Structure 1
Amino acid sequence: MSRRLRRARKRIETTEGADVSKKLEGKRIAFLATDMVEQVELTEPWKAVRDEGAKVELVSLEEGKIQGFNHYDKGDMFGVDRVVEEASASDYDALVIPGGVGNPDTMRTDENAVAFVRDFFEQGKPVGVICHGPWMLVEAGVVRGRKVTSWPSLQTDIRNAGGEWVDKEVVVDQGLVTSRKPDDLPAFNEKIVEEFCEGRHEEQAEKAQNAVHADATPK
């Protein structure tokens, strides 16, 4: 056997013996969405975490399927894995909330969906939110004291809720990952994988508790 062939075989054996475990192996990730979800903001983060070994479930307001949208045009239908009324943050390691105007605008009127989101923060679990998704954070009362980005039209809502709105493609604040729009998805996907891999953030729980207590204090 030639020296070159021996070196090539050694490289193959080294690669085969390397640790190829996926970053999110064993993690269970919830995606919270309903009709009019911006399709790419559901499918691309879904693929990003699933490719890293996570088990992914679509949680929604009702059983059946939800309608995705590509901006103003109808897209694909997506099967619901679990109804939010029966879901618990304790069953998951992390949460993703996609955008689309109608998606979070509908969900923020559902008390079970709002409580589901709030519980992730109170348990210190990482959360990824994009586009109009931060409306859910405002409704859940977990924005106060946090750096957040979003679709620009939400910035007044975020500031009024006590958050600091930042115009960047991705913002990370102690387990909370936010982005503005579909163009930011590459950066968003990279960061949610990173934060979900890190797991629970004590500071996430502390900030959530402080925000809830501050909002409950009589003015």
Structure 2
Amino acid sequence: MRIAFLTAPEGVEEIELTEPWKVVLEAGWNPQLVSTEPGRIQAFRHLDRAGTHPVDRVLSSHTAESFDALVLPGGVANPDALRMNRLAVDFTRDFIASAKPVAAICHAPWLLVEADAVRGRTLTSWPSLATDIRNAGGTWVDETVQVCHAQPATLVTSRKPGDLDAFCAALVKEFGG
């Protein structure tokens, strides 16, 4: 199974990228870092620069067809940049329309809001996104992990890095099912 991890060139919360990446590898799947630019992405630990990670694939109009599921790591700057990028929004929307599962943590549901993918769904996120999710027609809950099976695609969401164990467990269960 090929799993896309979508990030902007800068601003992803490193642990929200690396921990799900590890569990995807442990499940025997193939994670691929997809970004809007080639080269390496710059990760952060909150506001401090962390490691860099090589981009496996540059986003294009047909990229979603090559993957079975999508992981959207958070950080504040990462999803904020992605929601302003038409290809990133379309890429995310394509996963939902194709009934492929999507997992998003922390601020990453901003991209789901922009892709009009939260209407009629229940999800969680960093608490500051609650109003955005409600305004986009979703229901926000304050839970460690929330799995929504509303059609057409399953969404797995979590609030913060402290929820990563539950997020990763749910991601593996839902992606593997």
Q: TM (normalized to structure 1)?
A: 0.77
Q: Distance in 1 between matches of 2:109 and 2:23?
A: 20
Q: Paired residue for 2:142?
A: 167
Q: Paired residue for 1:107?
A: 82
4+ residue runs over 2 A deviation: none
- How many residues align structurally? 172
Q: Distance in 2 between matches of 1:57 and 1:153?
A: 29
Q: Paired residue for 2:25?
A: 50
CA deviation after TM superposition for structure 1 residue 184, in Å: 0.2
2:164 is matched with which residue: 158, 182, 185?
Answer: 185
Structure 2 residue 72 is the aligned partner of structure 1 residue 97: yes
Q: Paired residue for 2:2?
A: 28
Q: Paired residue for 2:63?
A: 88
Decide whether aligned partners of structure 1 residues 103 and 97 sit closer, same or farther in structure 2, where only a CA change above 3 A counts.
same
Q: Which has the larger Rg?
A: 1
CA deviation after TM superposition for structure 1 residue 86, in Å: 5.4
Identity %: 57
Q: Paired residue for 1:128?
A: 103
Higher strand share: 2
Q: Paired residue for 2:92?
A: 117
Matched AA of 1:193: V
Q: Please, what is the CA RMSD of the aligned residues?
A: 0.8
Structure 2 residue 169 is the aligned partner of structure 1 residue 194: no
Higher helix share: 1
Query: SS at the partner of 1:85?
Result: coil
Q: Distance in 1 between matches of 2:93 and 2:45?
A: 28
Q: TM (normalized to structure 2)?
A: 0.96
Q: Distance in 2 between matches of 1:130 and 1:118?
A: 17
Q: Distance in 1 between matches of 2:61 and 2:115?
A: 18
